A and B are shown apart, each in its own frame.
Chain A
Amino acid sequence: MKSKFIYPILPLIIISLALEILVKTNFFPSYLVPAPSQVFKVLSFENLSLWKALGQTSLASILGFTISLVLGVLFAILLSTSKLIEKVFYPYAVFFQTVPIIAIAPLLVIWLGYGLPTIVASSIIVSIFPVIANTLTGLRSTEKPLLDLFRLYSANPKDTLLKLKLPFALPSVLVGARISSGLAVIGAIVGEFIAGGGIGEVVNVSRTQQRVDIVFAAVFLAALLGLAFFLLIDFISKATLKAWHASER
């Protein structure tokens, strides 16, 4: 268990040390690349605003991700009920995949105002598609003999969905959730660029003030947030799939 954490931390230590030396020897000027020690100093001693920002971004990302997950799964279930519905609506789901969030974020502010609703909306728009696409694939890939078995016992559609199709789709849903968890953080930060608050605002302000050290510290925190999400989904995935699915055995 211990070594599991040491392996990924090793490269971080080596890269930080190398960067520290390169910056301190003026190979990289510190106004272009901050010394890791300086970033660390910002993280620990800079007033609490960075950590407060992390809290705001966490809240927005969690909301965005949760809503994406719920809406995405529901939408995928709807699409899976009939080929016609899928043909009509699936292209709109793809729309979420391709929408350039930077372009429509300013419109979100006009529709939803400054603050949390805009940030959460931005997070949802960016993170919902992987959930829809993966859930749909999962729902479609129920094994034929099992479906036949359910039909043989004349199970109603509701039972077929809840007891067979959805559990069978769970591994795919979790793959979608894993991808979308990181995207939810990105979406929230983009939203904050426009609507204010959180890590997005910290990045925006410190970039304008040429404080690359704070920019890096903020980006580091955002990465940690994404990682925390990822580990959470990983944990859920292990807990729910361990007993029966090959991927987690």
Chain B
Amino acid sequence: MKLFLLLIPFFCFAKTKLALNWKPEPEFGGFYAAQNEGIFKKYNLDIELIPGGAGQPIVQMVAAGKVEFGIASGDEVVIARARGADVVSIFAVYQTSPMGIMVHESTGIKQFSDIFNTRLTVALEKGLPFFKFLEKNYDFKNIKVVPYNGGISEFLRDKNFAQQVFITAEPLSAKRENAKPKSFLIADSGYNPYNVVLVVKKSFLENNQKLVEAMAKASYEGWSHYQKSPGKTNVLMNKLNPTMDLDTFNKGAKLQIPLIKVKGIKIGHQNKTRWAKLIQQLLDLKLIDKTIESQECFKNLH
């Protein structure tokens, strides 16, 4: 009982949680910048950034109210909504999804479709929508698909090994290990969902309009800052995630600039057409069995 009383203040002053779906890396740079540069504080936000790991069901955690904010991919949002989880994307970090496939330069592969005409072992996450998209649009008979287990050790060992990557991360690590990787964006083959989107439960948004708006604005400022000067934030993230070295952090932050800032679009903004296209693609791939309103998937608040 005493312990319980002691815990009460802890719950009352609990921070607002933002669950990330991976360890601190440049893809979350703007959020860490907002933390580090006092931007969250400026907007009266007390945000706790919670690093995640593979397979964490962030969207479901947000929908179940375990965390207030979470990071997901655009397709996860659509699938969750089609299943009745009322989550909304309020900020899309990547206009161009950084998901790609990395091969060894020595394979002589020149363009994306060459990957499927080469005898390769390709590590892919079969559950991800892009896998189904590729399966539908390319012939897989030349490649052997194996589970994607993270890391690049198998890639380094085997010249005929290819794998899915965030083109801002693994290819840099591979280069540091003296491999000669070449990467291709999956977005270029026609499947380009918004990625690293900030999601919130709709009922939470409606009841805490001010807080969620402040979160969107702070994220925008955080990302604008990180795009221009990521240095200090990278030092911080490197301390939190020492498995990635500082040089890779800096290179990654630079590489991702054009994927985040597209001419004519404010950082983080989303539009209806792109969500509608994604919904149609997921319908075609039978990953959702009924259509949903594209308008309901997102909200631009900044």
Give the tally of cross-chain contacts (CB within 8 A). 61
Interface check B136, CB cutoff 8 A: no
Q: Which of A110, A114, A195, A209 has most B Cβ within 10 Å? A: A209
Kindly list chain B residues whose C-beta atoms are within 8 Å of the C-beta of A208.
55, 125-128
B56 to chain A, nearest CB (A): 10
Chain B 57-86, CB within 8 Å of chain A: the 1/0 string? 101100110000000000010011001110
For A201, list chain B residues within 8 Å (CB).
126, 147
> What 1/0 mask marks residues of chain B from 75 to 108 whose CB sits below 8 Å from any chain A CB?
0100110011100000000000000000000000
The answer, among A31, A114, A210, for a CB contact under 8 Å with B147, is A114
A195 surroundings in chain B (CB, below 8 A)? 146-147
- When distances are taken between beta carbons in the complex, the residues of chain B under 8 Å from A30 are 83-84
A116 sits at the interface (CB 8 A): no
Chain A to chain B contacts (Cβ below 8 Å), 12 pairs: A29-B85, A31-B80, A31-B83, A31-B84, A32-B64, A195-B146, A204-B55, A206-B127, A207-B57, A208-B127, A209-B79, A210-B59
Is A164 engaged at the interface, CB distance under 8 Å to the other chain?
no
Once A106-B149, A193-B147 are accepted as A-B contacts, the answer to whether A29 and B127 lie under 8 Å apart by CB is no
CA distance A81 to B239 in the complex (A): 53
User: Interface size of B by Cβ–Cβ distance < 8 Å?
Assistant: 27
The residue on A at minimum CB distance from B121 is: A114
B127 and A205 form a contact (CB under 8 A): yes
A194 within 8 Å of B by Cβ? yes
Complex Cα distance, B124 from A114, in Å, reads: 13
A173 and B78 CA atoms in complex are apart in Å by 52
Interfacial chain A residues near B150, Cβ < 8 Å: 106
Nearest A residue to B81 via CB reads A31
Q: Is A196 an interface residue when CB atoms closer than 8 A count as contact?
A: yes
State which of B39-47, B151-159, B229-237 sits at the interface with chain A: B151-159
CB distance from A214 to the nearest CB of B (A): 10
Residues of B within 8 A of A67 (CB): none
Tell which of B63, B147, B153 touches A204, judged by Cβ atoms closer than 8 Å.
B147
